[in-house]
C-alpha cells in the first residue's frame, strides 16, 4: 500500500492524520487488504473474513432481484438476529419459575422502559415462522432444491423444524392459561411417538415380560416435560431449550446453510 501512495505537499493535517492512521500496525492488522476496488481485492476481502467468506464473492444478477428471491432467506436471518438480541434482553428480567414467570412477563410490559421489547420478540417470532415458510416456498418454486442443492435443502428442512420448535418452546414461557394448555395439547403429540411414546405404535413391543419399558414416566413426552404434566420441570426445560439449545443448533446450521449456498454456486439462477 505504501508504495502506491504519493505524498503531495498540499496535504492538510486531516489527510496527514489519515495517512498516518492507515499505516499504523493496528489498522493494517484489521484491514489486511486494500479497498475492495478491484476484483482481486474483492476476493481477498471476502475470503479472509470469517463472516464474509460464508457469502459468495460474486452473485448472479438475478440473486439481487427481489422478485426472484423475495429476500425471504435474508429476512429470516435478519429476524433471527432481532430475536437473538431482544431475547437476550428479555433474559435479564425473566425468571423461569412457577412463582415468577407470569409476573415477570407482565413486568416486562409494565415495569421496564421500552415495554415493547417483548412484543418485538413475539411479533418477530411470528414473522420469522412466516418468512421461513415463504423462503421454503420460493426455493421450491424456483427449483433450487435440485442437484447440487439437495443437501442444502435438507439442512433447510431441519432448520424449519428448529424454527417451529423455537416458536413452540417460546410459547410456554409466558406461563398463562393459553401457554399451559397449548403446550399440554402440543406435548400430548409426543405420547404417540413411535416406540418412544407410551401410546405410540410399537411401544407395547418394548417390554421385559410384564414390565413395560416405555411408560408415562419415561417416554418422549416425559423427557420433553421433565414431569408427567406441564409443570415447573416443563417450564425450565422449555426455557433452556428456547434460550440455549435450539438457538445454538440453528446457528450452526445457518453457517452450514450459507456456506453451502456459496459452495453450490451461489443463489440459483432463473430456470
Partner 1 sequence: MADDTKPEETPGPKIVPPTGEATKAAAASAPPTAAAHAAAKPAAPRPPAAPVPDLAGRTTSVASPGGAAAAAKPAPAAAKSTTRDADDSSPLLNRRAWMGLAWGAFSAASAAALAATGRFMFPNVLNEPPQQFKAGFPNEYGQGVDERWKEKFGIWIVRIADENVEPHGSGFYALFTICTHLGCTPNFLSAENKFKCPCHGSGYRTTGVNFEGPAPRPLERAKIGLSDDGQILVDKSRKFQYELGQWTDPDAFLKA
Task: Note the residues at the interface with partner 1 (CB under 8 A).
Answer: 181, 184-185, 188, 217-218, 222-223, 226-229, 231-233
Closer residue to partner 1 in complex, CB, 214/254: 214
Minimal distance, residue 67 CB to partner 1, in Å: 42
Closer residue to partner 1 in complex, CB, 154/188: 188
Closer residue to partner 1 in complex, CB, 222/238: 222
Task: Give the C-alpha separation, 66 to 217, whole Å.
Answer: 51
Q: Is 36 exposed, middle or buried (0-12, 13-18, 19+ CB in 10 A)?
A: middle
Whether the Cβ atoms of residue 74 and residue 254 lie closer than 8 Å to each other = no
Cell 413486568 belongs to 107
Minimal distance, residue 72 CB to partner 1, in Å: 32
Minimal distance, residue 203 CB to partner 1, in Å: 16
Cell 414461557 belongs to 173
Give me 31's grid cell: 484491514
Whether the Cβ atoms of residue 216 and residue 249 lie closer than 8 Å to each other = no
Closer residue to partner 1 in complex, CB, 145/168: 168
Q: Which helix (H) or strand (E) holds 157?
A: helix 150-172
Minimal distance, residue 223 CB to partner 1, in Å: 5
Minimal distance, residue 236 CB to partner 1, in Å: 11
Closer residue to partner 1 in complex, CB, 24/188: 188
Minimal distance, residue 53 CB to partner 1, in Å: 25
Give me 66's grid cell: 427481489
Between the two ends of the chain, the Cα-to-Cα distance in Å is 44
Closer residue to partner 1 in complex, CB, 167/184: 184
Neighbours of 179 (CB within 10 A): 20
DSSP assignment, residue 269?
P
Rg (CA), the chain: 25
Name residues whose C-beta falls within 8 Å of residue 166's C-beta, 6 or more positions apart in sequence.
125, 242, 246, 247, 250
Cell 418485538 belongs to 120
Minimal distance, residue 229 CB to partner 1, in Å: 8
Closer residue to partner 1 in complex, CB, 27/229: 229
Amino acid at each position: 500500500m505504501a508504495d502506491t501512495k504519493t505524498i503531495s505537499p498540499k496535504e492538510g493535517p486531516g489527510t496527514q492524520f489519515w495517512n498516518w492512521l492507515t499505516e499504523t500496525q493496528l489498522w493494517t492488522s484489521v484491514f489486511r487488504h486494500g479497498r475492495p476496488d478491484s476484483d482481486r481485492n474483492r476476493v481477498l476481502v471476502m475470503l479472509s473474513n470469517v463472516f464474509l467468506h460464508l457469502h459468495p464473492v460474486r452473485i448472479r444478477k438475478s440473486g439481487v432481484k427481489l422478485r426472484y428471491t423475495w429476500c425471504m432467506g435474508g429476512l429470516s436471518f435478519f429476524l433471527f438476529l432481532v430475536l437473538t438480541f431482544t431475547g437476550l434482553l428479555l433474559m435479564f428480567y425473566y425468571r423461569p419459575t412457577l412463582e415468577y414467570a407470569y409476573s415477570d412477563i407482565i413486568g416486562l410490559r409494565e415495569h421496564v422502559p421500552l415495554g415493547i421489547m417483548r412484543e418485538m420478540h413475539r411479533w418477530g417470532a411470528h414473522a420469522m415462522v412466516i418468512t421461513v415458510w415463504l423462503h421454503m416456498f420460493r426455493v421450491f418454486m424456483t427449483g433450487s432444491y435440485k442437484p447440487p442443492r439437495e443437501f442444502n435443502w435438507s439442512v433447510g428442512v431441519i432448520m424449519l423444524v428448529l424454527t417451529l420448535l423455537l416458536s413452540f418452546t417460546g410459547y410456554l414461557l409466558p406461563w398463562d392459561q393459553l401457554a399451559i394448555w397449548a403446550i399440554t395439547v402440543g406435548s400430548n403429540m409426543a405420547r404417540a411417538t413411535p416406540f418412544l411414546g407410551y401410546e405410540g405404535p410399537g411401544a407395547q413391543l418394548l417390554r421385559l415380560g410384564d414390565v413395560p419399558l416405555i411408560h408415562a414416566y419415561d417416554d418422549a413426552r416425559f423427557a420433553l416435560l421433565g414431569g408427567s404434566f406441564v409443570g415447573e420441570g416443563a417450564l425450565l426445560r422449555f426455557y433452556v431449550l428456547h434460550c440455549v439449545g435450539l438457538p445454538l443448533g440453528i446457528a450452526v446450521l445457518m453457517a452450514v446453510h450459507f456456506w453451502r449456498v456459496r459452495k453450490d454456486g451461489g443463489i440459483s439462477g432463473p430456470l
